[in-house]
């Protein structure tokens, strides 16, 4: 009787374990089950950092796990990206990806420890911020056509400034020269503020940068916007024409904001993160934040669409870099 009882008890425990096994495994495999680290490869306070912090708060509410923002600046964004590449592909370390570490560095740096097109998994493209072509308020060039006409007649006479070698502004400046058939001299500054000061002091005739750090200067009349490097007008500068409108179809250069992970990120993680981020982009909160930063939201974007976008950006960037011989240290 005791033997039968012991056997029955053992069988009941074994059966309970078998029944509980799948649930326990499912609970263990559920993502996210702990905090997520979102690496921002730039210092706090910039556009990428502001997007990351707003997104992190939204993901916390949607995924019910905290999102820790990890600023790892340096190497034009490649130090933070390299750290993500080396991390485990479990969805707990992600990258706030941008053009520098995500594409441009592959073609402008003499050595790079990773291949962003191979070693990072595309998750979602959140939005694109077009580069704006700027001139001093007292510039004789009131339109981009004015400037191009002058530059063709006076090759290598005009200087243009950007926030640095290999930045999206630099790519835009070189692309403009190739599309318009003009020759300008590049003056790399250290950041947007220095570029704007160079314009306002008359050191340079032209500047290429993102809209947000220059918006108040344009609105106050201290700088003049000639065009946006985009296929549509910017809501922040609705009166400023885009590339095709100034006779330069294909003049499109963006600072974009995206989420990537290390290679071999699980499909389930990609799908969950993509859906939660798309939900934030479509929300009032997300729209407001992106609009404040001059970012054109990419609503409903899939991981596959982001992957295709990266390939197109890579082809375009490689062509510009090779033609211009852009090299960053």
For residue 270, give its domain range: 36-128+256-324
Dihedral over alpha carbons 172, 178, 230, 57 (to 10 degrees): -30
Residue 141 CA: distances (Å) to CA of 123, 131, 228, 238: 42, 18, 15, 19
Q: Is residue 289 part of a domain?
A: yes
User: The pTM is what?
Assistant: 0.84
Of the residues 199, 222, 246, which one is the last residue of a structural domain?
A: 246
Instruction: Assess whether 301 and 242 both reside in one domain.
Output: no
Token pair of 69 as six digits: 């923002």
Same domain, 261 and 123: yes
pLDDT of residue 28: 42
Predicted confidence at residue 46, as pLDDT, reads 85
Q: Which two tokens stand for residue 266?
A: 């699980």
Structure tokens at 302: 């899939």
On whether residue 307 sits in a domain, the answer given is yes
Statement to judge: residues 136 and 232 lie in one domain: yes
Over residues 217-261, the pLDDT tens digits come to: 999 999 999 999 999 999 999 999 999 999 999 999 999 999 999
Same domain, 298 and 273: yes
For the chain, residues with pLDDT lower than 70 are 1-29, 329
Same domain, 113 and 153: no
**Six-digit token pair at 217?**
């200067």
Taking the C-alpha atoms of residue 89 and residue 177, their distance in angstroms, rounded to an integer, is 41
Percentage helix, strand, coil for the chain under 3-state DSSP, each rounded to 5: 50, 20, 30
**What's the pLDDT score for residue 329?**
62
Kindly report the CATH number assigned to the domain that includes residue 109.
Answer: 3.40.190.150
Long-range interactions of 247-251: CB distance < 8 A, separation 24+: 247/145, 248/144, 248/176, 248/179, 248/180, 250/179, 251/172, 251/175, 251/176, 251/179, 251/227
Sign of the dihedral through C-alpha 244, 192, 312, 297:
negative
- Domain ends where: 226, 246, 266? 246
Q: Where are the beta strands (DSSP E) in 43-199?
A: 67-71, 93-97, 120-136, 159-162, 185-188
Instruction: Give the whole-angstrom CA distance, residue 197 versus residue 190.
Output: 11
Residues 142 and 79 in one domain: no
| Pair 42, 144 in one domain | no
Are 134 and 121 members of one domain? Answer: no
Residues 301 and 320 in one domain: yes
Q: Please, what is the Cα angle at 61 between 298 and 258, to 5 degrees? A: 30
Q: Are residues 119 and 134 in the same domain?
A: no
């Amino acid at each position: 009787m005791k033997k039968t009882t012991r056997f029955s008890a053992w069988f009941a425990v074994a059966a309970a374990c078998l029944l509980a096994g799948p649930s326990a495994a499912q609970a263990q495999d559920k993502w996210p089950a702990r905090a997520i680290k979102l690496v921002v490869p730039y210092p706090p306070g910039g556009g990428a950092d502001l997007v990351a912090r707003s997104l992190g708060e939204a993901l916390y509410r949607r995924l019910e796990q905290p999102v820790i923002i990890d600023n790892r600046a340096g190497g034009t964004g490649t130090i933070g990206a390299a750290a993500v590449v080396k991390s485990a592909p479990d969805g707990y370390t992600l990258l706030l990806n941008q053009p520098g570490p995500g594409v441009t560095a592959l073609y402008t740096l003499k050595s790079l420890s990773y291949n962003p097109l191979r070693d990072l998994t595309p998750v979602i493209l959140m939005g694109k911020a077009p580069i704006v072509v700027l001139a001093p308020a007292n510039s004789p060039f009131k339109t981009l056509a004015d400037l191009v006409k002058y530059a063709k007649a006076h090759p290598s006479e005009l200087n243009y400034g950007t926030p640095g070698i290999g930045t999206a502004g630099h790519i835009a400046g070189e692309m403009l020269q190739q599309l318009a058939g003009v020759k300008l001299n590049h003056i790399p500054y250290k950041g947007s503020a220095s570029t704007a000061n160079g314009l306002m002091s008359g050191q340079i005739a032209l500047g290429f940068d993102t809209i947000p750090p220059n918006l108040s200067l344009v609105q106050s009349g201290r700088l003049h916007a000639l065009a946006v490097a985009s296929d549509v007008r910017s809501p922040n500068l609705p009166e400023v024409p885009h590339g095709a409108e100034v006779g330069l179809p294909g003049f499109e250069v963006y600072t974009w904001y995206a989420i990537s992970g290390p290679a071999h990120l699980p499909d389930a993680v990609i799908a969950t993160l993509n859906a939660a981020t798309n939900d934030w982009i479509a929300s009032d909160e997300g729209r407001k934040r992106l609009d404040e930063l001059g970012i054109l939201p990419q609503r409903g974007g899939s991981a596959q669409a982001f992957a295709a976008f990266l390939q197109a950006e890579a082809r375009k960037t490689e062509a510009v870099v090779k033609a211009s011989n852009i090299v960053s240290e």
